[in-house]
């Protein structure tokens, strides 16, 4: 079932490319155009069937029904300002950035049919080479409408993500940035720190526990320094929560308090089970 006729994806990395691949596999779009600042990426996206056509320049958005901003967080607002005035009246614009407050407040002012989205389907393996058509299956996509959000466009975008395979959750941009500071940005901050805290001489004696805990410490430096700075205040709150809990564990250990250690680990076991 076709939802949109012409779709333009700006940024054909892991997320942008996977959207294209899934749209095409499921015949959800008439034609998918792809653009990237990296010619190699967009050519590869074309080769593996993630897009139908390589867009030459941003004017390609002019007769689009859906434009997807899938570039890094810092570039989204910049690219949006470059396509302002080019979109046809009923064209829907979405982004897939990892932080939402700033992007949604700025782009909602500039575009009447803008919907902020964040599919929780990323990976430390970026780029079109790692994309797969099924990364949205059983994933969660957060949509962050605000008061002024166009209801018709919102419904269409809900349908869009559902058809891609994701379960849609709707919360405000503010709630999004608070939640993700804890469930995504904090784990990244911790993974970067943990691997940096291990001396080189110990690295060869690593087991799966270190490997799993630090898998995401291989994540892209440009993307993550941007996310951290964009969501600075919420991340600082999350860091504070972690530090408080960590101090409790450290004190229990210092005091050889087996009862408290047991309580901390049992609580972690229970919470982890809830995470699934």
CB of 12 to a second copy, least distance (A): 21
Q: Which is nearer to a second copy, 58 or 168 (CB)?
A: 168
CB of 195 to a second copy, least distance (A): 5
Q: Which is nearer to a second copy, 109 or 265 (CB)?
A: 265
Q: Which is nearer to a second copy, 109 or 203 (CB)?
A: 203
Which residues 6+ apart lie within 8 Å of 222 measured at CB? 72
CA dihedral (264, 266, 268, 271) positive or negative: negative
Q: Which is nearer to a second copy, 91 or 142 (CB)?
A: 142
Number of other CB atoms surrounding residue 2 within 10 Å = 11
CB of 27 to a second copy, least distance (A): 28
Q: Tell me the Cα Rg of the chain.
A: 21
CB of 169 to a second copy, least distance (A): 7
Q: In sequence order, what are the beta bridge partners of 93?
A: 67, 114
The pair phi, psi for residue 77, each rounded to 5°, is: -65, -40
| Both tokens assigned to 159 | 């349908």
CB of 263 to a second copy, least distance (A): 9
3-state secondary structure of 247: helix
Q: Distance of CA 246 to CAs 94, 257, 273, Å?
A: 39, 15, 20
CB of 246 to a second copy, least distance (A): 5
Alpha helices (H) in the chain, listed in sequence order: 14-25, 39-47, 73-83, 101-110, 151-164, 173-180, 186-197, 200-203, 208-213, 221-230, 232-254, 258-275
CB of 235 to a second copy, least distance (A): 6
Residue with token string 């390589």: 54
Q: Which is nearer to a second copy, 43 or 242 (CB)?
A: 242
List the end-to-end C-alpha distance of the chain, in Å, as a whole number: 32
Q: Which is nearer to a second copy, 89 or 271 (CB)?
A: 271
Q: Which is nearer to a second copy, 58 or 249 (CB)?
A: 249
| Both tokens assigned to 104 | 């949604």
CB of 8 to a second copy, least distance (A): 26
The pair phi, psi for residue 13, each rounded to 5°, is: -85, -150
Q: In sequence order, what are the beta bridge partners of 67?
A: 8, 93
Q: Which is nearer to a second copy, 106 or 257 (CB)?
A: 257
């Amino acid at each position: 079932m076709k939802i949109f006729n012409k779709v333009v994806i700006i940024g054909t990395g892991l997320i942008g490319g996977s959207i294209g691949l899934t749209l095409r596999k499921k015949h959800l779009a008439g034609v998918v155009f792809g653009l990237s600042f990296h010619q190699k990426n967009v050519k590869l996206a074309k080769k593996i069937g993630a897009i139908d056509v390589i867009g030459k320049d941003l004017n390609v958005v002019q007769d689009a029904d859906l434009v997807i901003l899938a570039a890094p967080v810092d570039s989204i607002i910049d690219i949006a300002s470059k396509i302002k005035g080019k979109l046809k009246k009923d064209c829907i614009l979405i982004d897939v950035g990892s932080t939402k407050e700033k992007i949604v407040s700025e782009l909602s002012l500039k575009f009447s049919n803008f919907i902020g989205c964040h599919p929780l389907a990323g990976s430390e393996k970026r780029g079109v080479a790692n994309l797969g058509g099924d990364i949205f299956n059983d994933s969660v996509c957060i949509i962050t409408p605000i008061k002024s959000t166009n209801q018709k466009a919102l419904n269409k975008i809900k349908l869009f993500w559902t058809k891609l395979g994701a379960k849609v959750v709707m919360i405000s941009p503010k709630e999004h940035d608070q939640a993700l500071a804890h469930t995504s940005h904090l784990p990244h901050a911790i993974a970067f720190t943990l691997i940096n805290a291990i001396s080189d001489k110990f690295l060869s004696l690593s087991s799966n526990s270190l490997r799993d805990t630090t898998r995401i410490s291989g994540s892209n430096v440009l993307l993550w320094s941007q996310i951290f700075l964009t969501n600075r205040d919420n991340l600082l709150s999350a860091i504070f929560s972690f530090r408080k809990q960590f101090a409790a564990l450290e004190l229990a250990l210092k005091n050889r308090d087996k009862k408290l250690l047991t309580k901390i680990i049992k609580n972690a076991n229970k919470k982890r089970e809830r995470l699934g």
